[in-house]
Chains A and B, each alone.
Chain A
Amino acid sequence: MATTTMRRTPAGRRATGAPAPGVGARSPYPYWFYLPAAVIYGLLFIVPTLTAFYFSLTRWTIFDAQFIGLDNYVTFFREPALVSGLTHTLVYAVVTSGAKVVLGMLLALLLTSRIVGRGYLRSVVFFPVLVSTIGVGLTFTVLMNPDQGLINDALAVTGIDGPAWLTDPRYALLSVALVDVWKGVGLATVIFIAGIVSIPREYFEAAKVDGAGAWDTFRRIVLPLSRPATVTVILLSLIGGLRSFDLIWAMTRGGPGFTSDVIASVIYKQYQAGFYGLSTAGNVVLFLVVTAIVVPLSRLLNRKEVDL
């Protein structure tokens, strides 16, 4: 890596004391390069994130905030419609993330195997990643129409009586999750492909010489050696799933009833209704959920990688 010239590092560190040659002791890597980014990031990301903790404890009209202690959180956890948003968020994130890992890995194996038309297949699987989420959501809302939709028409041909998808309270959340997987599996697939392609050929050849079958090769070589890719896919899709809003909003707006509401849609609804304090409490809850899941998980997954 870039450790060829270690000289510069101590020189930079002792910049204030050491009598460096030249005019003054200025590093060629000045800290003011951080400044413009730091100002924007600080004002529009860090300040809101920190002040959210205070504002979530207030009754808030944007212009003045009245401290009311934990009332917003009490409301949040007492209201069944809001609490269900929390469980839906977890279900949605776990389902989409799990499906993307499994399907992404299968597709990646398929697309690195000896088949014709790999380029076409990769493109077609990946393209939905780049398409507008709202556009995908509206399209699938039509495709999933219970009576006229293309999906149930197709299922009817094969004799299956398709569910009501988005209008059935039991399936609404999972139907949206299905579309999320359709749209997002391409990203998981290309990450897995990158992981598989980076495995040295010799391993596969050695396995072949040893008489390993396809399953053994997958289990003993592909799976352990593409672990960084797997960790990435899990973490990325979990973060995305926990925060997800636009697809759900485009397809069900949290309905029918509150059966597909997630924290992010609760935040928006409370914001629209003018309950800024409550909305911000939702934001803090989301922040805590995401960090409580993602940070330990990434520690765990990355540590195991070192152990191997």
Chain B
Amino acid sequence: MSAVPAPGPRRKPRPNYLLSAVAFLASLVVFVVPFVFVALTAVKDRRQAADLDFSWPHRFRLVQNFVEVIRARDYLLIIAYINSTVLTVASVTLMTVLAAMVAYVLQRRRGRWNGLVDFLVLAGLIIPPAVVPTIWVLQRLGLFRRMPGLILVEVAFGLAFCVLLFRAFIATIPRELDEAAVLDGAGPARLFFRVILPLLRPVIVTVVLVQSVFVYNDFVNPLYFLPGEQNATVQLTLYNFNSQFSTQYNLLFMDILLITIPPLIMFLAFNRQIVAGMTAGAVKG
């Protein structure tokens, strides 16, 4: 897609309209209808929602359903949103900074640790975490069933992927920059935090976005490491509501709708960076 002005005779062949139409219709049926179904069911009344069909709501109950879901179980959803926000912001911030530090030294310094660190990064991408032993460690540290514990778990499990993304990017930053800063008398910490880190901004944006989506959508780790009603993250409310609302599909789908909104906003705003992050990390993997 480079903007080279190639003076070819047939630079822009006619688009294939038939194929486009087929693809468009197929995409509507396969990918759009499920989301529209969620939205429609979320605003129906209870009886119509129970039909489970794809129909226009007789009566729009957007506000009532919204209020009812929010108020369910003593405003559990609000608490869950707070929990999810704390979890996502804290763990993503921490893992981004720590992974950048690791990737920086790993990329810049050739030494005896490189092989080991490379191996550990790869292991972190492949190995499924051992659940109960992790609970055992958390218990020993007094962090089981506590938010800081879950935050650290998310950091531990997310580090490897972040290091991979950072490392590839740091390789493109010229070393002359480091040398100039050292000559100016900058120590390692100042060199990294004042010179290098600001240059990493594009990849930081990508890492933060991708990991935020992962952590926000994470269901398994909160399930294991942060049990308890008051500790629920939004993903767990979905799961808890499912048993409670099994006869109230409108409320269940309102919950699904509300939980889908944050990723939707992220997607609309940062589609390009998210895709870049997921493919860049992947092409290396």
- Cα distance A284–B128 when bound, in Å? 9
- What separation, in Å, do the CA atoms of A82 and B188 have in the docked complex? 53
Closest to A283 in B: B130
In Å, the complex CA distance between A297 and B249 comes to: 44
A134 with B133: CB separation less than 8 A: no
Are the CB atoms of B130 and A40 closer together than 8 Å? no
With the chains together, A195 CA to B282 CA distance in Å?
11
A116 near B: Cβ within 8 Å? yes
B159 touching A31 by the CB < 8 A rule? no
Take A48-B137, A116-B15, A116-B20 as given contacts and tell me if A4 and B132 are in contact as well, using a CB distance cutoff of 8 Å. Answer: no
A239 touches B (CB below 8 Å): yes
CB contact list, A186-236 vs B, under 8 A? 187, 190-191, 193-195, 197, 228-229, 232-233, 235-236
The listed residue (A117, A126, A268, A291) touching B20 by CB distance below 8 A is A117
Contacts of A92 in B (CB 8 A): none
Interface-facing stretch out of A21-29, A73-81, A93-101, A161-169: A21-29
New A-B pairs, 14, CB < 8 Å, besides A34-B101, A51-B130, A126-B275: A34-B113, A34-B117, A37-B98, A40-B156, A41-B120, A114-B16, A127-B264, A131-B263, A132-B260, A138-B242, A229-B282, A279-B132, A280-B131, A290-B127
Q: List 10 A-B contacts (CB under 8 A).
A: A2-B107, A28-B181, A28-B191, A33-B101, A44-B137, A44-B156, A52-B130, A130-B263, A132-B263, A134-B219
The count of A-to-B residue pairs whose CB atoms sit within 8 angstroms is 277
Residues of B within 8 A of A300 (CB): none
Q: Does A273 contact B (CB under 8 A)?
A: no
Closest chain A residue to B109 by CB distance? A29
Q: Which B residues, 77 to 129, have Cβ-Cβ distances below 8 Å to chain A?
A: 98-99, 101-102, 104-105, 107-111, 113, 117, 120, 123-129
Known: A36-B101, A236-B282. A1 touches B127 (CB 8 A): no
Q: Interface size on A (CB < 8 Å)?
A: 98
Q: How far is the CB of B229 from chain A (nearest CB, A)?
A: 16
Complex contact A232–B285 (CB within 8 A): yes
B15 and A49 contacting across the interface, CB-CB below 8 Å: no
Asked if A30 and B235 make an inter-chain contact with CB atoms under 8 angstroms apart, the answer reads no
Quick one: which of A45, A133, A195 has the most chain B CB within 10 A? A45
B53 lies within 8 A of A153 (CB): yes
Interface of B is mostly: helix
Assess the B133–A47 pair: CB atoms within 8 A. Answer: yes
B66 within 8 A of A: no
A123 proximal to B (CB < 8 A): yes
Cβ B219 vs Cβ A133 within 8 A: yes
List which A232-254 residues lie within 8 A (CB) of chain B: 232-233, 235-236, 239, 242-243, 245-246, 250
Residue of B nearest to A125 (CB): B31
Chain A contacts for B99, CB-based, 8 A: 37
**From residue A17, how far is it (CB to closest CB) to chain B in Å?**
14
Complex alpha-carbon distance, A293 and B1, angstroms: 37
Task: Verify B132–A28 contact, CB threshold 8 A.
Answer: no
Question: In the assembled complex, which residues on chain B have CB atoms less than 8 Å from the CB atom of A52?
Answer: 130, 132-133
Which residues of the other chain, A, contact B139 by a CB distance below 8 angstroms? 62
Please provide the chain A residues from 72 to 127 with a CB less than 8 Å away from any CB of chain B in the complex. Answer: 110, 113-117, 120-121, 123-127
